[in-house]
């Protein structure tokens, strides 16, 4: 059964049709990569399915529910979490706090509980902290120990990307959306993250949709690849199938010039 | 934007489901809209039918509203241009206006004893106007240089707070320099009395204000639409990064925006003396807020909008209490004149933040 | 944090010479400084402050203030340029002094010009403070040409001194400057210290320092203060780590012990303050306490949730008027005449409703619009409370009087000294609430919303609830302040609920440090206690606020005592740390594994 099913999705921005009649499905447990040249509408696609933008037309079915029109925090509660193309952490909060925010939707303590330090609230806080540390430990020593109390703005670029993934993981999602997770990383870091993405599925059971530009990553990690261009799905299939498809090559590189004569 | 849905299962692959827009917040806001319109209409009905004011009295209120509104429009231009370019509310702009008014007062005072005042009122008025413009422009540019430019990239709340600081600093500097007493503008003999225009009798001073304001706004409009500097301003307003890539001196353009806004505020300051005879160091606060309201009312970033918004607000404020509040037999309703302005501000920002003519703003980055 | 040893593999790099001090900048600073000095003189600051002696009989405050401006600009002009990557660090040379002297001298010449102008024209028609008295002060009663030279010379020297500060070794700076500041503090706060010493039965100290009753510091007194604090700061600066760091480094239990002991000591001191300090100072502290209470409330709205509420005074008014209506026999419409304690639940309810009413329309508004709308609400509230229309309920411009004093069982509070305690108690409660919320689910949600609203929403925070709850909590705290204010003063008038109050509270939290309780407390001290203690300053109080706000935003937007998170300093770049880890693996340079919690 498809975890995520999208039918006829369309979105206009002013005069520009950013997404045009998109049909995509993602099955439980899959890792799907979405690729395409710049401006193809990939991030807009993420914005639409997470509720940060509203589509003009189309259905977005997550599990059995049509989530069009829900607020992003409601969609998150249903189990869809994302990272951002230009890393958007909470800069003045510590590493641990950033991840603990992810647990907000899974907990209930209110202002009064915090003021009167009820046993329920204290227990919940302990659980939140536990879970946050557990999620951070997924990244080994990179975000461990003394790092927990560092402000997230002080982290190195690669660590910030990892932290963003950790924050998304802490929301206990079923579906994880990663927007260019390896952008700006050096080859060693990229390899490490590629393995990590695989582990996200194998160890943690997340279904993953990935927007990527780095074809090595796409090849190594995806079950299936979807190619977008100008808001439309060009091709989908395995990496090998897609990478040799003429339309895809044309989208990225352009049509070869007509020969003279 | 305030929409949500009650979650129900939709059929897989079914037709598009319409988004339900009913939430407690939206219900509250709609209720508020209806209540406000009802209150206004009913109050107006009561006032007019009770015949408290004659037609010519209503006309007087209207003209007064147009003339104060013209002054607000001039000040609003500064707010709207700066917001359009930098996306920030220049709290200190009201004080830029006040400085212009102060300078206008002192120059007028000085001239009033000379023969120029009586002999050539037009020349005198021009001298006052130009002095006020120079003063306001200088203050605007200095504040930009000292307090705002270093904070160009900062998160938005910081320059806002700085501008509050600049506003206070200017107010109390002026208070220290010229004292807390209220100044009274000298009378200009040729401006006493009325003009007879198409059978309507209007105070001369009000006519001068309206004409002068229209002239300045017309000039500004031409400046922005036709000249190169104006074009740079519009470009920077739309997209500063691309403008810079096209070779426009963004920093210089921003300074010019402040300068032009300041000049307009200076004219407003000079004209203030013709509408309201008294002035003190705190006189910039209320007009500043009202001018900002006007700018938002017309559509922030939009120059024609600022003009429209200013006049509209002036009229609302002048006619409103007598029209709406008097109908409900509210005692001393003229005390509540400022409430009309504040209420207009609040309502515009809640119900139609893009204003009447729509916003024209620099794009958000990222 | 421990110093990192640079691994021997690093190559020695040729450093380029540092850029020289920019003389043209010194010139510009000279003119700006001159403008500042002229403004200081022309707004009457010099004349007003001249009455007060800093050190009797030689150093009057007015002129000192004037020439400190020159010193400040000299300091700016003489500042060594920032050390850039690949350049040698700049050293202070004669050129720095030259720049300082230039800036100072030029500034002094501007005053000279003013003096010349004043001698030729009578400018009092426009600038009311340019009186002969001022002229006399500025020129030291010398002939104008001589005076101009003298003024320029003094300013030049002040500028040079300012530049010279850069040449001082750090430890000297940390000793000398605070000691001088203490001298100034002691000289300005004669009433405060006089009262303090008398209250502590240390009269001999009072007579030694301030021989004339209520008079200024004498030379002997100044010397004593200077030496004492010189020694104190010398000791403090000699230690390797600051107290804050030392405490943080302690193991958890000991740290908790130190904190509790310190807080306990502070509480004990504060308990005795009203008795020792007398009614005048107690009243000031009471006012400061009320402002502090409200600042803690606004701290949650602005500091945690990032909602710039410029109409916060409205909640203060709601609290004050609700308390007045429910307790006073003079309340126009409705006189239940409850005790203040019994009225408090209604106050809280009214505040909560007000908070919801203000918050609901502004939920989807962007930050700057939210600021203006809340400003509008605050002003509407004031005008309505003042209006004749609503005076049957609120008393109009006459307000509501005869609010009875606070009574808690056998305790009957009526003097400022009495009120100090309940207000202080409420401040403690507010501080506790602030801290409790900081490390809680909603505290984090608010901060996330402040940092990036759309991302916070995408991470599960319900923005509507978050904003509503922030406003309500802030409103309730402000309303406590309002009700205590009403009870203490005995009446409420609409003109006390001016926008200036909202701005003052905002300045308190910004200057002190948003989000940090000690910071906000410091802010309240600086902004309420100081101006009220120094009567000459109270006329220029708001000018001071405005300049302070601009200066803080430009230089130190996180405030004087930023919250711990903002105070975190890194001695090394994070990237270098990663690289270091890579070279040496998970064991440090010494081959030992890195223990938890240490660098």
pLDDT digits (tens, 9 = 90+) for C233-244: 888 777 766 666
Read off the pLDDT of each residue in A3-12 and give the average, rounded to a whole number.
91
Strand pairing category for A175-179 and A80-82: parallel
Give whole-number Cα distances, C525 to C145, C486, C533, in Å: 44, 22, 10
Residue of A nearest to B366 (CA): A86
Mark yes or no for CB contact C554/B88 under 8 Å: no
Residue of A nearest to B22 (CA): A69
Read off the pLDDT of each residue in B261-287 and give the average, rounded to a whole number.
91
pLDDT confidence bin for C403, thresholds 50/70/90: confident
Q: For residues B100 and B92, give the distance between their C-alpha atoms in angstroms, rounded to a whole number.
A: 13
Q: What is the pLDDT of residues C104-162, one digit of tens each?
A: 999 999 999 999 999 898 888 889 888 888 888 888 888 888 999 999 999 999 999 99
Read off the pLDDT of each residue in A31-44 and give the average, rounded to a whole number.
88
Q: Residue C591 above 90 pLDDT?
A: no
Q: Residue C85 above 60 pLDDT?
A: yes
The number of residues in chain B equals 366
pLDDT confidence bin for C230, thresholds 50/70/90: confident
Of the two residues B196 and C593, the one the predictor is more confident about is B196
pLDDT confidence bin for B88, thresholds 50/70/90: confident
Q: Which residues of chain C make contact with B1, given a CB cutoff of 8 A?
A: 364
Q: Can you give the pLDDT at residue C214? A: 58
Q: Residue A110 above 60 pLDDT?
A: yes
Q: Can you give the pLDDT at residue B365? A: 43
Highest-confidence segment of A175-179, B329-333, B358-362: A175-179
C-beta of residue B356 within 8 angstroms of C-beta of residue B309: yes
Q: Can you give the pLDDT at residue C3? A: 64
Residue B359, phi then psi, degrees to nearest 5: -80, 155
Mark yes or no for CB contact C459/A117 under 8 Å: no
Find residue A236's DSSP bridge partners: A226
Read off the pLDDT of each residue in B67-91 and give the average, rounded to a whole number.
91
Pick from B80, B105, B41: nearest CA to B324:
B41
Q: Residue C10 above 70 pLDDT?
A: no
Q: Can you give the pLDDT at residue B128? A: 92
Strand pairing category for B183-184 and A207-211: unpaired
Q: Can you give the pLDDT at residue B361? A: 66
Q: Which residues of chain C make contact with A88, given a CB cutoff of 8 A?
A: 452, 455
Give whole-number Cα distances, B186 to B103, B287, C386, in Å: 13, 21, 32
Q: For residues C487 and C483, give the distance between their C-alpha atoms in angstroms, rounded to a whole number.
A: 6
Read off the pLDDT of each residue in B18-27 and give the average, rounded to a whole number.
64
Read off the pLDDT of each residue in A33-55 and give the average, rounded to a whole number.
89
Q: Can you give the pLDDT at residue B18? A: 44
Q: How far is C583 from chain A (nearest CA, A)?
A: 15
Mark yes or no for CB contact B335/C389 under 8 Å: yes
Q: Calculate what percentage of chain B has a pLDDT beyond 90.
A: 34
Q: What is the pLDDT of residues B293-348, one digit of tens each?
A: 999 888 888 888 999 999 999 998 988 888 877 777 777 777 788 888 888 888 88
Q: Can you give the pLDDT at residue A258? A: 61
288-307 in chain B: CB under 8 A from chain C:
289, 292, 296
Of the two residues A210 and C517, the one the predictor is more confident about is A210
Q: Residue C14 above 80 pLDDT?
A: no
pLDDT confidence bin for B10, thresholds 50/70/90: very low
Of the two residues B219 and B198, the one the predictor is more confident about is B219
Read off the pLDDT of each residue in C497-521 and give the average, rounded to a whole number.
86
553-582 in chain C: CB under 8 A from chain A:
565-566, 568, 570, 574-575, 578
Q: Residue A89 above 90 pLDDT?
A: yes
Q: For residues B233 and B221, give the distance between their C-alpha atoms in angstroms, rounded to a whole number.
A: 12
Q: For residues C1 and C537, give the distance between their C-alpha atoms in angstroms, rounded to a whole number.
A: 42
pLDDT confidence bin for C339, thresholds 50/70/90: confident
Of the two residues C91 and A107, the one the predictor is more confident about is A107
Residue identified by tokens 């700076």 is: C173
Q: Residue C583 above 80 pLDDT?
A: no
Sorted by sequence, the CB contacts under 8 Å of residue C138 that are 6+ apart come out as C41, C46, C111, C114, C115, C147, C151
Q: Does A65 touch chain B (CB under 8 A)?
A: yes
Mark yes or no for CB contact C599/A146 under 8 Å: yes
Strand pairing category for B183-184 and C411-412: unpaired
Prior bond of C57 cis (ω within 30°)? yes
Q: Can you give the pLDDT at residue C574? A: 41
Q: Which domains, and CATH codes, for chain A?
A: 1-79+173-261 (3.40.50.300), 92-170 (no CATH)
Q: What is the pLDDT of residues C308-317, one digit of tens each?
A: 999 999 999 9
pLDDT confidence bin for C571, thresholds 50/70/90: very low
Q: Residue A228 above 80 pLDDT?
A: yes
Per-residue HEC secondary structure of B276-325 comes to: CCEECCCCCHHHHHHHHHHHHHHCCCCHHHHHHHHHHHHHHHHHHHHHHH
> Which of B87-101, C129-143, C291-305 has the lowest average pLDDT?
C129-143
Pick from B251, B260, B254: nearest CA to B224:
B260
Mark yes or no for CB contact C452/A88 under 8 Å: yes
Sorted by sequence, the CB contacts under 8 Å of residue C6 that are 6+ apart come out as none
Q: Could you please report the per-residue DSSP string of B52-82? A: -S-HHHHHHHHHHHHHHHHHHHHHHHHHHHH
Of the two residues C530 and B89, the one the predictor is more confident about is B89
Q: For residues C487 and A245, give the distance between their C-alpha atoms in angstroms, rounded to a whole number.
A: 81
Structure token digits, residue B201 = 């009798």
Q: Between B109, B158, B170, which is nearest C557 by CB?
A: B158
Structure token digits, residue C148 = 């101009």
Mark yes or no for CB contact A104/C461 under 8 Å: yes
- Report the number of secondary-structure helices (H) and strands (E) in chain A: 10, 10
Of the two residues C273 and C307, the one the predictor is more confident about is C307
Q: Residue C49 above 50 pLDDT?
A: yes
Mark yes or no for CB contact C361/B289 under 8 Å: no
Sorted by sequence, the CB contacts under 8 Å of residue A201 that are 6+ apart come out as A29, A31, A207, A208
Q: How far is B343 from chain C (nearest CA, A)?
A: 7
Distance of CA A108 to the CA centre of its chain: 25
Q: How far is A110 from chain C (nearest CA, A)?
A: 7
Q: Between C45, C126, C364, which is nearest B1 by CB?
A: C364
pLDDT confidence bin for C170, thresholds 50/70/90: confident
Structure token digits, residue B188 = 């200009």
Q: Residue C569 above 80 pLDDT?
A: no
Q: C461: part of which helix (H) or strand (E)?
A: none
Read off the pLDDT of each residue in B52-63 and give the average, rounded to a whole number.
83
Mark yes or no for CB contact B7/A65 under 8 Å: yes
The angle formed by the CA atoms of residues C87, C90 and C93, to the nearest 5 degrees, is 150
Q: Which residues of chain A make contact with C459, given a CB cutoff of 8 A?
A: 73, 76, 81, 101-102, 104-105, 167-168, 171
Q: What is the pLDDT of residues C94-106, one digit of tens each?
A: 888 888 999 999 9
Neighbors of chain B by Cβ distance (3+ pairs < 8 Å): A, C
Q: Can you give the pLDDT at residue C18? A: 80
For an interface test with A, the pick among B3, B16, B154 (most A C-beta atoms closer than 10 Å) comes out as B16
Q: Can you give the pLDDT at residue B360? A: 65
Give whole-number Cα distances, C553 to B147, B163, B270, in Å: 9, 10, 32
Long-range contacts of B171-174 (CB under 8 A, 24+ apart): B171/B95, B171/B98, B171/B281, B171/B282, B171/B284, B171/B285, B171/C542, B171/C546, B172/B281, B172/C43, B172/C540, B172/C542, B172/C543, B172/C546, B173/C39, B173/C43, B173/C543, B174/B95, B174/B98, B174/B99, B174/B102, B174/B281
Mark yes or no for CB contact A69/B20 under 8 Å: yes
Q: What is the pLDDT of residues A143-167, one digit of tens each?
A: 888 889 888 888 999 999 999 999 9
Average pLDDT, chain C: 83
Mark yes or no for CB contact B154/C364 under 8 Å: no
Q: Between A82, A125, A150, which is nearest C458 by CB?
A: A82
Model confidence, pTM: 0.85
Q: How far is C293 from chain A (nearest CA, A)?
A: 16
Neighbors of chain A by Cβ distance (3+ pairs < 8 Å): B, C
Q: Calculate what percentage of chain C has a pLDDT beyond 90.
A: 31
Q: Does B48 touch chain C (CB under 8 A)?
A: no
Q: Can you give the pLDDT at residue C236? A: 78
Of the two residues B5 and C263, the one the predictor is more confident about is C263
Q: Can you give the pLDDT at residue B186? A: 84
Mark yes or no for CB contact B161/C510 under 8 Å: yes
Residue identified by tokens 């979405």 is: A34
Q: Does A56 touch chain B (CB under 8 A)?
A: no
Q: Can you give the pLDDT at residue C2? A: 56
Q: Can you give the pLDDT at residue C578? A: 47
Strand pairing category for A65-66 and A57-62: antiparallel
């Amino acid at each position: 059964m498809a975890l995520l099913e999208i039918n006829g999705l369309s979105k206009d921005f002013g005069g520009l049709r950013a997404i045009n009649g998109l049909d995509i499905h993602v099955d439980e447990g899959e890792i799907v990569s979405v690729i395409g040249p710049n401006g193809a509408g990939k991030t807009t696609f993420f914005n639409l399915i997470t509720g940060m933008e509203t589509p003009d037309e189309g259905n977005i079915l997550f599990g059995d529910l049509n989530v069009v029109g829900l607020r992003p925090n409601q969609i998150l509660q249903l189990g869809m979490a994302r990272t951002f193309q230009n890393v958007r952490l909470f800069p003045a909060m510590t590493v641990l706090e950033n991840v603990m925010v992810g647990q907000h939707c899974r907990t209930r303590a209110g202002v009064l509980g915090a003021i009167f330090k009820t046993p329920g609230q204290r227990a919940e806080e302990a659980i939140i902290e536990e879970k946050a540390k557990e999620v951070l430990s997924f990244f080994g020593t990179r975000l461990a120990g003394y790092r927990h109390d560092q402000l997230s703005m002080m982290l190195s670029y690669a660590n910030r990307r990892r932290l963003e993934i950790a924050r998304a993981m802490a929301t206990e999602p079923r579906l994880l959306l990663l927007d260019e997770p390896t952008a700006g990383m050096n080859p060693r870091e990229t390899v490490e993250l590629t393995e990590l993405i695989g582990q996200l599925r194998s160890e943690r059971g997340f279904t993953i949709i990935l927007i990527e530009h780095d074809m090595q990553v796409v090849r190594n990690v995806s079950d299936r690849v979807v190619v977008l261009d100008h808001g439309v799905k060009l091709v989908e299939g395995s990496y090998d199938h897609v990478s040799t498809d003429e339309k895809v090559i044309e989208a990225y590189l352009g049509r070869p010039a007509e020969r003279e004569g | 934007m305030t929409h949500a849905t009650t979650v129900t299962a939709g059929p897989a692959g079914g037709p598009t489901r319409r988004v339900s827009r009913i939430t407690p917040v939206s219900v509250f806001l709609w209720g508020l809209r209806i209540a406000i319109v009802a209150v206004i209409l009913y109050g107006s009905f009561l006032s007019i039918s009770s015949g408290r004011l004659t037609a010519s009295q209503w006309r007087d209120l209207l003209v007064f509203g147009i003339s104060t509104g013209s002054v607000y429009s001039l000040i609003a231009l500064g707010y709207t241009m700066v917001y359009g370019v930098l996306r920030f509310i220049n709290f200190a702009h009201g004080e830029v206006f006040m400085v212009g008014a102060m300078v206008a007062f002192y120059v007028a005072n000085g001239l009033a004893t000379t023969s120029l005042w009586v002999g050539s009122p037009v020349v005198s008025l021009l001298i006052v106007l130009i002095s006020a413009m120079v003063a306001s422009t200088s203050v605007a540019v200095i504040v930009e240089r000292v307090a705002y430019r270093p904070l160009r990239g900062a998160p938005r709340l910081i320059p806002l707070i700085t501008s509050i600081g600049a506003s206070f600093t200017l107010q109390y500097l002026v208070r220290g320099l010229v004292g807390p007493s209220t100044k009274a503008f000298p009378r200009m003999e040729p401006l006493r009395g009325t003009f007879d225009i198409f059978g309507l009798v209007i105070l001369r001073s009000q006519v001068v204000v309206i004409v002068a304001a229209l002239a300045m706004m017309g000039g500004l409009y031409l400046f922005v639409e036709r000249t190169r500097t104006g074009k740079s301003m519009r470009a920077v307003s739309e997209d500063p990064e691309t403008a810079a890539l096209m070779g426009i001196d963004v920093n210089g353009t921003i300074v010019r925006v402040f300068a032009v806004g300041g000049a307009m505020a200076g004219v407003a300051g000079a004209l203030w003396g013709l509408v309201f005879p008294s002035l003190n160091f705190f006189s910039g606060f209320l007009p500043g807020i009202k001018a900002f309201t006007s700018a938002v009312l017309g559509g922030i970033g939009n120059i024609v909008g600022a003009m429209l918004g200013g006049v509209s607000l002036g009229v609302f404020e002048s006619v409103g209490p007598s029209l709406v509040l008097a109908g409900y037999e509210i005692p001393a309703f003229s005390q509540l004149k400022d409430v009309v302005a504040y209420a207009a501000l609040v309502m515009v920002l809640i119900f139609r933040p893009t204003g009447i003519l729509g916003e024209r703003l620099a794009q958000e980055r990222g | 944090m421990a110093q990192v040893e640079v691994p021997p593999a690093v190559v020695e790099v040729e450093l380029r010479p540092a850029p020289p001090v920019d003389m043209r900048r010194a010139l510009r600073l000279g003119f700006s400084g001159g403008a500042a000095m002229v403004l200081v003189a022309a707004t009457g600051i010099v004349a007003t402050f001249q009455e007060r002696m800093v050190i009797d009989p030689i150093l009057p405050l007015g002129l000192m203030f004037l020439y400190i401006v020159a010193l400040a600009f000299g300091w700016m002009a003489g500042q060594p340029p920032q050390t850039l990557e690949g350049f040698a660090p700049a050293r202070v040379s004669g050129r720095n002094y030259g720049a300082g002297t230039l800036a100072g001298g030029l500034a002094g010449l501007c005053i000279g010009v003013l003096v010349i102008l004043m001698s030729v024209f009578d400018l009092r028609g426009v600038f009311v403070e340019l009186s002969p008295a001022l002229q006399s002060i500025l020129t030291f009663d010398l002939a104008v040409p001589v005076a101009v030279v003298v003024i320029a010379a003094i300013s030049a020297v002040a500028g040079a001194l300012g530049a010279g500060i850069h040449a001082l070794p750090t430890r000297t700076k940390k000793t000398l400057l605070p000691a001088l500041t203490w001298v100034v503090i002691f000289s300005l706060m004669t009433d405060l210290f006089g009262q303090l010493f008398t209250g502590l039965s240390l009269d001999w100290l009072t007579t030694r320092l301030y021989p004339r009753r209520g008079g200024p510091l004498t030379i002997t007194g100044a010397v004593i203060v200077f030496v004492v604090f010189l020694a104190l700061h010398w000791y403090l600066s000699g230690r390797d780590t600051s107290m804050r760091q030392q405490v943080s480094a302690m193991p958890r239990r000991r740290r908790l012990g130190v904190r509790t002991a310190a807080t306990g000591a502070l509480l004990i001191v504060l308990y005795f303050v009203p008795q020792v300090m007398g009614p005048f100072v107690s009243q000031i502290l009471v006012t400061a306490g009320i402002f502090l209470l409200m600042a803690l409330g606004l701290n949650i709205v602005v500091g945690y949730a990032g909602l710039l509420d410029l109409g916060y005074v409205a909640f203060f008014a709601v609290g004050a008027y609700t308390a007045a209506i429910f307790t006073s026999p003079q309340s126009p419409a409705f006189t239940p005449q409850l005790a203040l304690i019994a009225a408090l639940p209604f106050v809280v309810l009214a505040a909560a409703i007000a908070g919801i009413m203000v918050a609901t329309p502004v939920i989807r508004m962007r930050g700057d619009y939210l600021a203006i709308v809340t400003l509008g609400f605050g002003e509407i509230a004031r005008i309505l409370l003042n209006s004749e229309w609503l005076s049957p309920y609120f008393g109009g411009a006459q307000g509501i009087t005869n609010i009875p004093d606070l009574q808690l069982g056998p305790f009957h509070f009526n003097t400022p000294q009495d009120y100090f305690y309940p207000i202080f108690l409420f401040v403690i409660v507010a501080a506790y609430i602030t801290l409790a919320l900081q490390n809680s689910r909603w505290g984090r949600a608010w901060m996330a919303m402040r940092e990036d609203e759309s991302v916070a929403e995408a991470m599960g925070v319900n923005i509507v609830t978050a904003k509503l709850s922030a406003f309500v909590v802030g409103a309730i705290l402000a309303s406590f302040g309002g009700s205590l204010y009403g009870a203490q003063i005995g009446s409420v008038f609409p003109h006390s609920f001016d926008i200036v109050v909202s701005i003052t509270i905002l300045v308190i939290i910004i200057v002190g440090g948003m989000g940090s309780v000690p910071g906000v407390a410091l802010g309240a001290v600086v902004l309420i206690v100081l101006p009220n203690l120094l009567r000459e300053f109270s006329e220029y109080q708001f000018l001071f606020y405005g300049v302070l706000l601009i200066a803080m935003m430009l230089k130190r937007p996180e405030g004087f005592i930023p919250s711990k998170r903002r105070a975190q300093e890194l001695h090394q770049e994070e990237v270098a740390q990663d690289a270091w880890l890579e070279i040496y693996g998970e064991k440090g340079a010494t081959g030992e594994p890195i223990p938890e919690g240490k660098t």
